Structure 1
Amino acid sequence: MNPIIALLKENNISDEQINEIFLTLTQNPLAAMTTISQLGLPQDKLQALMAQVMQNPVLIKEAVEELGLDFTKVEEAKAKLNQ
């Protein structure tokens, strides 16, 4: 299991919330950081999660794939917004 997903599940974050977080992460990482900080995670867990997200963006893509979300659709939407 992806370490970011594992950390969220260990802290009783629902699958629905996890999906929403990763959709937001792929669309607007800064907004996702705000969402993550509001989950009520203990400070040490929150810092570890933020470090993983910031230092290893490949984990985000892997998590999106693991959750069955369509990363290409997110990329297409971002491209349309940038036109």
Structure 2
Amino acid sequence: MNPILALLKENNIEDAQIREIFQELTTNPLAAMATISQLGLPQEKLQILMAQVMQNPALIKDAVDELGLDYSKVEEAKEKLQK
């Protein structure tokens, strides 16, 4: 299992909420980061999660694929951020 998904699940984040977060990541990554920070994760877990997301963007693609979401939306969001 993807380490980001595993960390969220082991902290009792429901599957529906995880899907929402990754759906948001595919359309508005900055808003998704704000949502993640409001999940109530312990600070050390939140830091690990944020580090994984920032240092290894491929994990986002893996998680999006694992959840059956459309990764092309992530690419579109990245292009918008770069403009």
- Normalising by the smaller structure, the TM-score range is 0.7 to 0.9
2:31 corresponds to: 31
1:55 corresponds to: 55
Please, what TM-score do these two structures have when normalized by structure 2?
0.85
For residue 10 of structure 2, what is the amino acid of its counterpart?
E
1:43-71 CA distance string (max 9 Å, x none): 00000000001111110011000011122
Please, what TM-score do these two structures have when normalized by structure 1?
0.85
Deviation at 1:10, TM superposition (A): 0.2
1:21-49 CA distance string (max 9 Å, x none): 11111211111110000000000000000
Q: Mark the runs of 5 or more structure 1 residues left unpaired by the alignment.
A: none
RMSD value over aligned CA atoms?
A: 1.7
For residue 2 of structure 1, what is the amino acid of its counterpart?
N
Number of aligned residue pairs: 78
Q: Mark the runs of 5 or more structure 2 residues left unpaired by the alignment.
A: none
Provide the C-alpha distance between the structure 1 equivalents of 2:64 and 2:71, rounded to a whole number of angstroms.
7
CA gap of 1:66–1:37, structure 2 versus 1, over 3 A, is same
Runs (4+) off by over 4 Å: none
For residue 3 of structure 2, what is the amino acid of its counterpart?
P
Identity %: 76
